[in-house]
């Protein structure tokens, strides 16, 4: 008793489908996905605008580059990912 078993989850899912209807469930899922994407996008923007902008030193010349940069801006060496 107490723990949720797969059958219980299935019954719960069926009940939710019965109450809200499949169409509304799909819309809810889509809205959830959109807010999740917006959250991730905002998080990425905040990260790139923050103090972590200069995150990696160049292995060849020591020049600090942005986290997203693939090549050193000073000497052009490939940066480790
Ligand atoms: Zn360099």
pLDDT mean values, one per 10 residues, the chain (81 residues)? 79 85 82 87 70 76 87 90 73
CB 17 within 8 A of CB 9: no
Q: How many helices (H) and strands (E) does the chain have?
A: 2, 2
Which tokens belong to 2? Answer: 């107490």
pLDDT at 2: 66
Q: Which two tokens stand for residue 60?
A: 């060849």
Cα 48 to middle of ligand 1, angstroms: 20
CA of 42 to the centre of ligand 1 (A): 30
Helices 6-20 + 22-49 axis angle, to 10: 100
Alpha carbon of 30 to ligand 1 centroid (Å): 44
* Beta-strand relationship, 54-57 and 64-66: antiparallel
């Amino acid at each position: 008793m107490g723990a949720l078993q797969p059958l219980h989850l299935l019954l719960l899912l069926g009940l939710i489908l019965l109450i809200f209807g499949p169409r509304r469930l799909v819309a809810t899922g889509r809205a959830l996905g959109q807010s999740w994407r917006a959250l991730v996008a905002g998080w990425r923007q905040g990260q790139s605008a923050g103090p972590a902008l200069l995150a990696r030193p160049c292995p060849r010349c020591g020049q600090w580059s942005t986290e997203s940069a693939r090549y050193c801006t000073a000497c052009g060496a490939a940066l480790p990912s």
